[in-house]
């Protein structure tokens, strides 16, 4: 049944030469991994988006407003794009895109991205530069986000155990900001202890969530392992079996983290995800795992909620719209897209250089004359702006994949 469902979805776009390998792959998939059949054809664009909760306003959202926004995404079957930013340029690209596609945006900082913002030669003893750059970036977003008229989630990406000094420094900044402003600096943070035994992973996450809950910060935790390599996290040689999370593991997380008073959390449950972009056929995503997990937890709870968990999709770059939409159907409310946006920014800069190549070979002299100045061409803002525009365009395309177009139905 899964094979015929797969054929039904894709056969119209296949040539005869492509059909044979696909049949082999699909047959191997059905026999090798018991994930169950997919549901019928997914249609998502025709649904009317319900009004946003009154708590959600333009600018950075935290606490209950953040949770209300994530529930709105789950109920209306869209996911929010999340991008690792490394400068004011990539931040501006994210906010520009969100204003254009009419939806929320997740601006997130990696440990390495924070250090880059602080400056690569800044003293990084005890992760000082990583902390300072991440905090500076968050403060910058807070100053400008409201100007774009969209809700923005401030988040940080993967943090393994050896990077906890960075996480602790960010929590110190959150608590200081909370004391002064009544809300945390960041909306949420991610702990990635997925390479550790489940008990240790969940135990540490619960310990940190108890601290985070006191100032209304949401925790994103990871189960299973996201393959590939990204920003210092290298899982290229990981055992493929660890790329797929089991429902029982998510249920254990749900039970433990739900017991934390005021605790809010999302789960990045692996279903074959891989960081980076790879040739077709090299990544085997199984979003049915998320559907099965929701059903499992819903039956355990017995409260009638068909999707009790908020899932996060890591390694979204290069994924098909079909897989993305099917993951959203299972309660995915966030998708990371980093590799594709990095390429888009570079491609914009590259196109600018190609277009004005003859004006960028010296300060004086170009095709218009030997004494003509070139300052307006080599002004850094020109090439960087081209990168911003290309990255924003790619994010608008991602928002369409995520069903996140025109979802800001503001409450009256």
User: By CB neighbour count within 10 A (0-12 exposed, 13-18 middle, 19+ buried), where does 107 fall?
Assistant: buried
**304 CB neighbour count, 10 Å cutoff:** 7
| Cα–Cα distance measured from residue 394 to residue 385, given in angstroms and rounded to the nearest whole number | 14
Q: What is the CB neighbour count within 10 angstroms for residue 229? A: 14
Per-residue tokens: 385? 């702006």
The answer to whether the Cα torsion of 204, 208, 213, 216 is positive or negative is negative
Q: Find the angle CA(134)-CA(106)-CA(195) to the nearest 5 degrees.
A: 70
* Residue with the two structure tokens 């959203």: 328
Element housing 319 (H / E): none
CA distance 256 to 261: 11
Helix axes 128-144, 88-101, angle to 10 degrees: 40
Query: How far, in Å, CA of 284 to CA of 289, rounded?
Result: 12
* Structural contact between residues 220 and 265, judged by C-beta atoms closer than 8 angstroms: yes
Query: Which residues are identified as catalytic?
Result: 157
Ordered DSSP codes for 371-398: EEE-HHHH-HHHHHHHHHHHHHHHHHHH
Are 391 and 87 contacting, i.e. CB atoms less than 8 angstroms apart? no
């Amino acid at each position: 049944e899964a094979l015929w469902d797969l054929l039904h979805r894709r056969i119209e776009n296949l040539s005869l030469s492509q059909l044979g390998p696909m049949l082999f792959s699909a047959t191997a998939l059905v026999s090798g991994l018991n994930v169950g059949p997919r549901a019928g054809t997914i249609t998502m664009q025709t649904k009317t988006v319900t009004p946003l909760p009154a708590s959600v306003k333009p600018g950075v959202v935290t606490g209950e407003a953040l949770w209300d926004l994530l529930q709105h995404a789950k109920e209306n079957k869209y996911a929010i794009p999340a991008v690792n930013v490394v400068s004011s340029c990539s931040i501006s690209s994210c906010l520009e895109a969100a204003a254009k596609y009419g939806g929320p945006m997740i601006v997130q900082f990696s440990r390495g991205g924070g250090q880059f913002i602080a400056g690569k030669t800044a003293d990084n003893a005890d992760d000082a530069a990583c902390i300072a750059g991440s905090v500076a970036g968050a403060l910058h977003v807070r100053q400008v986000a409201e100007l774009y008229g969209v809700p923005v989630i401030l988040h940080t990406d993967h943090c393994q155990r050896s990077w906890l000094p960075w996480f602790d420094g960010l929590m110190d900044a959150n608590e200081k900001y909370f004391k002064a402003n009544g809300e945390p600096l960041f909306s949420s943070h991610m702990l990635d202890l997925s390479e550790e035994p489940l008990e240790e992973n969940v135990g540490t996450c619960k310990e940190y969530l108890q601290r985070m809950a006191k100032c209304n910060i949401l925790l994103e935790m990871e189960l299973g392992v996201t393959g590939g390599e990204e920003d210092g996290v290298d899982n290229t040689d990981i055992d493929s079996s660890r790329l797929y999370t089991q429902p029982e593991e998510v249920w254990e997380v749900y039970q433990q983290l739900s017991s934390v008073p005021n605790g809010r959390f999302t789960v990045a449950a692996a279903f074959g995800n891989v960081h980076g972009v790879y040739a077709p056929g090299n990544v085997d995503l199984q979003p049915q795992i998320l559907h099965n997990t929701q059903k499992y937890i819903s039956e355990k709870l017995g409260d009638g909620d068909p999707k009790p968990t908020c899932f996060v999709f890591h390694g979204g770059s290069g994924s098909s719209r079909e897989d993305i939409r099917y993951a959203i159907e299972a309660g995915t409310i966030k998708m990371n897209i980093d590799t594709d946006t990095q390429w888009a920014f570079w491609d914009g800069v590259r196109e600018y250089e190609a277009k004005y190549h003859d004006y960028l070979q010296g300060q004086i002299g170009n095709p218009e004359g030997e004494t003509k100045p070139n300052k307006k061409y080599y002004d850094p803002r020109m090439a960087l702006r081209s990168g911003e525009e290309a990255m924003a365009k790619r994010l608008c395309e991602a928002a369409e994949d995520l069903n996140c177009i025109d979802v800001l139905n503001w409450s009256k």
